[in-house]
Amino acid sequence: MAKLQVISTSRLRTALRIGGDPDGVPVLLVHGNVSSSRFFDELMEMLPPHWYVLAPDLRGFGDSEKLPVDASRGVADYADDLHSLVEAMGLTGTPIHLLGWSLGGGVAMQYAIDRPAQLASLTLLAPVSPYGFGGTKGAEGTPCFPDYAGSGGGTANPEFVKRLGDGDAGQDSDFSPRNVMSAFYFKPPFHLEEERETAYVRAMLQMAVGEDNYPGDLTPSENWPTVAPGKRGILNTLAPGNFNTAGLAEIDPQPPILWVRGDSDQIVSDTSLFDFGFLGQIGAVPGWPGVDLFPPQPMIAQTRSVLEQYKANGGRYEEEIIEEAGHSPHIEQPEAFLEAFVSFVRRNS
């Protein structure tokens, strides 16, 4: 397994998994929500040994410092933390291959917007839409309501939040983190061996729970479903109004982009089971105002729209859809993911 270290940067103490050759091609892996860098351990073992692979825990996750998250900046706290790590590792003058998974995809897009010259390539692995998670419609990310109701910290399932905070490592409820991971991170009936599954659950339970971290605070709303985003915590970093990385289409220089997703993703999808628009449509949340006012968020269409704009502006991107995979292709179908990712990095090194 990769070596775990704690690095003090100018912003926080960052836990960091390190693998490969320090003189090799630098590759930076950014994990998703309710996870940690532990979810990259097995992948790191399979990457080329001459790469220099770094996988940090974001603030509030894993073994990194449990600092609050200012969601009014979108994911910029995370992106700035990432840059402080790059500085601490002495890599500011070296082009980096950056991969972001899910929430980490949003962080990676923000990093590319802020520091495009730092990147040799950008890989978006099941990334959040450039228009955030929840509360928008259409490929252009139009708000369903002016206050972005239906997104942010108030949309988390309270039973799941409670069980995270209580350290529930069992499986006696559908909302136990172990069962949520099995049902939604992967395409059922995919199952991990027990030791690896338990390690992932432990990583999930390490994250900070509360209004400053997961899920964040909320704002009451007169609009359906009666909650709008707050300004603190993880889910609010991805709420439209706080988060928008559509500016990726305009960056200069333009690193090559690889967009990888599973064909059966239930989290980032045009029919996401975590999106209130889709949940309302299928009757899972009462009072849904209808498809004209609050349709399911077209997350895939929104990402493709921004990447097509990137292409129209002279950039290039590739899309890789991995079969028989959900939200975690690098875990579910590692060989297929490796073939796409390794060849992409090699072509652009």
Read off the pLDDT of residues 25-58 as tens digits, 9 standing for 90 and up. Answer: 999 999 999 999 999 999 999 999 999 999 999 9
Q: What pLDDT score does 1 carry? A: 65
Whether the predicted model's global pTM rises above the 0.85 cut: yes
Read off the pLDDT of residues 3-13 as tens digits, 9 standing for 90 and up. Answer: 899 999 999 99
Print the domain residue range for 232: 3-347
Read off the pLDDT of residues 68-106 as tens digits, 9 standing for 90 and up. Answer: 999 999 999 999 999 999 999 999 999 999 999 999 999
Q: What pLDDT score does 2 carry? A: 84
Please report which confidence band the pLDDT of residue 112 belongs to, taking 50, 70 and 90 as the band edges: very high
Q: Which two tokens stand for residue 219?
A: 């704002």
Mean pLDDT of 200-218: 98
Choose among 91, 126, 90, 133: nearest CA to 108.
Answer: 126
- In the chain, % helix, strand, coil (3-state, to 5) comes to 35, 20, 45
Q: What is the domain count for the chain?
A: 1
Q: What pLDDT score does 225 carry? A: 98
User: What CATH number has the domain bearing residue 254?
Assistant: 3.40.50.1820
- Residues 200, 35 contacting (CB under 8 angstroms): yes
Average per-residue pLDDT for the chain? 98
Handedness of CA 319, 323, 327, 332 (dihedral sign): negative
